[in-house]
Amino acid sequence: MARNFRSEFPALETASGDAWHYLDTAATAQKAQPVLDAITRAYGPDYATVHRGVYERSANMTLAYEAARKRVANFLGAASEKEVIFTSGATDSINLVAESWGPANIGKDDRIMLSQLEHHSNIVPWQMLAERVGAHIDVAPLTADGQIDLDWIEAHLTERHKLVALAHVSNVLGSLLDAKRAAELAHFHGAKLLLDGCQAAPRVPVNVQELGCDFYVFSGHKIYGPTGIGALWAPYAILDAMPPWKGGGSMIDRVSFDGTTYAPPPGRFEAGTPHIAGVVGLDAAIQYVQSIGLDRISDHENATLAMAREALSGINSVRVFGPDKSMGILSFAVGDVHPHDVATILDEGGVAIRAGHHCAQPLMDYLKVPATARASFGIYSNADDVAALVTGIERVRKIFG
């Protein structure tokens, strides 16, 4: 009997017992019961602080916390768990790199290469850094089908570029970056490559060593885990050369008023009491994903997306954005109807989508639209969700003529 993934996610059923057609997984994924159970245990019978107490429960929680770090390292193909920094999410991870690595490696008249489709979290921290140190930002255009134009990047990278920061998968178009080629192009000019893996980590197998990137970031809540937790990966040598960003407990070697020495990575970057239950929940989420297999998740999402793309492409006045083979994400417009109106009408039929600029306003400007509607899929998405989406869009067309 085929496994019913949908039944493992309690939130996908309404209080009245009706199905909720959740198509906003790119914003945040729903949580499977094993993840919820792990978080409940972490806040309940297992709860204690980490890295501080000598009593048994604290020691056990510390072991669980560090086991989660090792799992994240293995999940990303890292050489060592010492290369994994726990953060509050991808935004925090990118800001850590911008605030710690950035000023030590990017100076006046240096350049940073971004792309037109980046999330605000992979734009604003670099703008803030560039303004502070006098650096410049270049923006790569997109190909006709919504991919980052690596040919353009190859033609415009120079020795002044110190960093290339790109989305591994676009949160609006679902386009998948050729990350290996991006790394080769960056390294040819002596630049580092940071990959925003928020939409990739839940959908495609990631091996940072094979990709050749220098920084990789992702958020736990995108991968069926809790909010408020994420990770930054970088080779240990890079982390070891980076100064601390935040000061406080845990990130120190010794503190005195004559001077303070800092702990080695990863502790150097994890000041204060961490999000313990979040780390435990992230560990459970990765275990859950690995029990299914990322290839299987990707195949399921892409099959569901292909079904939706075909259905929407056959509806008059519906415009679909992005490449034909996008990764679990489908942005669209219904004539001149504002996406917020589309989303509101869909919600009346129990269909939840995202509408707006998706924290990618430069991309909206590039597409010459104020916003888009976005349906995004997860392991729990199915043909009924697609049918409900199509029915809702037909109702939008009827209401707005």
pLDDT in tens, 63-84: 999 999 999 999 999 999 999 9
Predicted local confidence at residue 13, as pLDDT: 86
* Residues 219, 199: Cα–Cα separation, whole Å: 9
Provide the b/e sequence for 338-376 (b: ≥16 CB within 10 Å). Answer: bbeebbebbeeeebbbbbbbbbbebbbebbeeebbbbbb
Which class is 37-290 in CATH? alpha beta
Domain boundaries, the chain: 5-30+293-400, 37-290
- Strand 192-196 with 161-167, pairing: parallel
Q: Is the pTM of this model over 0.85?
A: yes
Superfamily assignment of 5-30+293-400 in CATH?
A: Aspartate Aminotransferase, domain 1 (3.90.1150.10)
Is 198 an active-site residue?
no
What's the pLDDT tens digit per position in 325-338? 899 999 999 999 99
Tens digit of pLDDT per residue, the chain (401 long)?
A: 578 899 999 999 887 888 899 999 999 999 999 999 999 999 999 999 999 888 999 999 999 999 999 999 999 999 999 999 999 999 999 999 999 999 999 999 999 999 999 999 999 999 999 999 999 999 999 999 999 999 999 999 999 999 999 999 999 999 999 999 999 999 999 999 999 999 999 999 999 999 999 999 999 999 999 999 999 999 999 999 999 999 988 888 898 899 999 999 999 999 999 999 999 999 999 999 999 999 999 999 999 999 999 999 999 899 999 998 899 999 999 999 999 999 999 999 999 999 999 999 999 999 999 999 999 999 999 999 999 999 999 999 999 97
Query: Looking at 359, 364, 369, 387, which residue is catalytic?
Result: 359
